[in-house]
Amino acid sequence: MLREWNVPFRALLDAAPDGIVVCDGQGTVVLVNSEAERMFGYARDELLGQSIELLVPEHVRPRHHHHLASYAAEPKLRPMGSNLDLRGRHKDGSEFPVEISLSPFTAERGTLIIAGIRDVTDRRQLEREKKRATAYLLSAVEAVQEAFLLFDENDRVMMVNSAARALMGPVGDAPITGRTFEDLLRASIAAGTYELGGETVERWQARRLAYHQNPSGVLDLRTRAGRSIRITERRTADHGTVTMIADITDDVERAEELRRARQQAEAASEAKSEFLSSMSHELRTPLNAILGFAQLLERDRKQPLSERQLERLSHVLRGGEHLLRLIDDVLDLSRIESGRISVSSEPVEIASVLAEAIHTLEPMASRAGIRIVPPDVPLGTPPVIADRTRLAQILMNLGSNAIKYGKTDGHVAFRTEIGSSSVRITVIDNGIGIPEDKRDRIFDPFQRAGQEAGPIEGTGIGLTISKRLAEIMRGTVGFRSQVGQGSEFWIELPAHLDQATNEPSTAGSAAVPSRLATGERRHTIVYVEDNPSNIAFMRELVEELPSVELLTAPTAEIGLELIRGRLPNVVIMDINLPGISGFEAVKRLREWPETRDIPVIGLSAAALARDTARAQNAGFHRYLTKPVKVDELTETLERLLEVR
């Protein structure tokens, strides 16, 4: 059986964790425990028989007196002055926060009031700190420019800054804190805050909700006020959501401005390219006649020219070729600058591309009295990854500079070195070298490093083009030079490391008399061309090829009739014709069964890369640009006519 313990009453009272003070209806203290003594700093004897108001701060004593009287009249158990910031008064005069519960006790001599008193200094301190932390957080959230909302795990707003309030617009009278995301979203939509951009309200809302429920990345929206906003939401560790909304209107406008500027720049560059293309067309057409006839005169076997005449003619040819190079270089550079050039990289054998470049450079070198040392490509040199034509172009540019700026009786050599993942080809000369103060701008366009007024022909863009081309092919160029001693220019390209071969260099085949020049007439060519001097040039060219009969037509319309009537072996077609264009004419030829297989050579002054691509798509067999190189055209004809 449970028996009540017999514990001494006084000891029990003193062991209680709260202070206990008992007073009578008049407020005279009749009992205190140890905790109360400790809390208020009085010894028991100092309190017993004194007024309870000794323990109350002076400024509340009048009120306290009144409360005590009314409590004594109608006593019951209750916390004292709930919601009030109650304070006790220590013996030393200091005050401290307390919580007090009151209960009445009816004794023989009357009603006693028992006060349980707890010192809450620590708790108040904690509460104050918590409040301060929250205030800090709120002011931090307020200080961020972006709209900020924090939702709890039930998707209700816990925290919101004024930027977010402003952005949401009027969302009803109820305070935002405590409302759910969806509720606020609906209210904002109803208030017309957002620009739905043609979407239905349902779809737009579904999209916004979907992002909120599963946020990843960002969500860009627009407001009716014309602002672009970027929403970033993230889940918090305790299943809430943080929403940040940034105004990105300025960024969007700037991006739009940039886009417009880029578009304009592209249009301008396109116009420049277009202009250069048509200018080059205009310049090439008369050059075509000049160079074409000069070449025919030079080769005329029936009426060979005298030495003097040949000498003069060579000036015409050289001048014409220089002009042509200039046109081509400017065109090339503008194409590279506008990013329109396409390179097709493949493994290229260095020996063979060197042989090709040297073969082309040889006549120039012998004219200048310079010896080209036969290249020695080390065994095991891997091919390089490059566009063969462009690599040859670079080597020819470096090589021709080495010859141009060389000394009579000098030499030019090509050295190949294998790196760990690249191959370097160096063009070495023992020529005039480059003055030190001119070296840093040598690769800039139109910089001729002191040669501007000199006798050596040049445009100052060869090295610019070489450098840009090398970079497009993921390569580099560089040089070193010593005035009076010579220069070394190199290009380094990535090696193709899968296979290492070393083909012996094959020099290009020497010109042999055309097979078309022998035998009786057995081929027919229709040449569609409106320019009389081009027609005259072609007639003279074909005159040297007795196996070929040439028929000409001044327009594509007449040409098509002629081709269907005579079914020639080859058609040569100018592109820019007065009526329908050469492109259109080829299209029609490809549609008729009887003309479908006749090879057509396109001939045009337009030398933009994209024209060549277009011509291939249009169905041309070959596409040659004017000025026509006699050898190239003869070779093409020979291949088409003699093989068939």
Chain positions contacting ligand ADP, by CB under 6 A: 397, 401-402, 405, 429, 431-434, 442, 448-449, 451, 458-464, 487, 489
Measured from the CB atom, the residue of 451 and 502 that comes closer to ligand ADP is 451
Least distance to ligand ADP, CB of residue 442, Å = 5
Least distance to ligand ADP, CB of residue 228, Å = 48
Measured N-to-C along each axis, helices 462-472 and 388-404 cross at an angle, to the nearest 10 degrees, of 150
Measured from the CB atom, the residue of 458 and 627 that comes closer to ligand ADP is 458
445 within 8 A of 518, measured Cβ to Cβ: no
Position of minimal CB gap to ligand ADP: 458
Short-list 601, 607, 588, 602, CA closest to 639: 601
Measured from the CB atom, the residue of 397 and 416 that comes closer to ligand ADP is 397
Short-list 18, 19, 26, CA closest to 112: 26
Measured from the CB atom, the residue of 402 and 607 that comes closer to ligand ADP is 402
Q: How far apart, in whole angstroms, are the C-alpha atoms of residue 343 and residue 387?
A: 6
Measured from the CB atom, the residue of 349 and 429 that comes closer to ligand ADP is 429
Tokens of 216: 């990843």
Least distance to ligand ADP, CB of residue 322, Å = 10
Residues 6+ apart with CB under 8 A from 10: none
Measured from the CB atom, the residue of 484 and 513 that comes closer to ligand ADP is 484
Least distance to ligand ADP, CB of residue 425, Å = 14
Question: Other C-beta atoms within 10 Å of 631: how many?
Answer: 11
Least distance to ligand ADP, CB of residue 328, Å = 12
DSSP H helical ranges for 102-200: 121-143, 162-168, 181-190
Least distance to ligand ADP, CB of residue 319, Å = 15
Measured from the CB atom, the residue of 353 and 449 that comes closer to ligand ADP is 449
Measured from the CB atom, the residue of 240 and 433 that comes closer to ligand ADP is 433
Burial of 260 by CB count in 10 Å (0-12 exposed, 13-18 middle, 19+ buried)?
exposed
Measured from the CB atom, the residue of 462 and 602 that comes closer to ligand ADP is 462
Least distance to ligand ADP, CB of residue 441, Å = 9
Residues 6+ apart with CB under 8 A from 608: 273, 277, 331, 335, 340
Q: Between β-strands 600-604 and 570-574, what pairing exists: parallel, antiparallel or unpaired?
A: parallel
Measured from the CB atom, the residue of 429 and 574 that comes closer to ligand ADP is 429
Least distance to ligand ADP, CB of residue 489, Å = 6
Q: How far apart, in whole angstroms, are the C-alpha atoms of residue 33 and residue 43?
A: 10
Least distance to ligand ADP, CB of residue 234, Å = 56
Q: Encode 282-309: b = buried (16+ Cβ within 10 Å), e = exposed.
A: ebbbbbbbbbbbbbbbbeeeeeeeeeee
* HEC sequence for 570-624: EEEEECCCCCCCHHHHHHHHHHCCCCCCCCEEEEECCCCHHHHHHHHHHCCCEEE
Q: How far apart are the first and last CA of the chain?
A: 127
Least distance to ligand ADP, CB of residue 407, Å = 10
Q: How far apart, in whole angstroms, are the C-alpha atoms of residue 28 and residue 465?
A: 109
Measured from the CB atom, the residue of 346 and 457 that comes closer to ligand ADP is 457
Least distance to ligand ADP, CB of residue 583, Å = 35
Which SS3 state, helix, strand or coil, does residue 240 take?
coil
Measured from the CB atom, the residue of 433 and 546 that comes closer to ligand ADP is 433
Report CA-CA distances (Å) from 256 to 263, 549, 597: 10, 61, 51
Least distance to ligand ADP, CB of residue 365, Å = 13
570 within 8 A of 598, measured Cβ to Cβ: yes
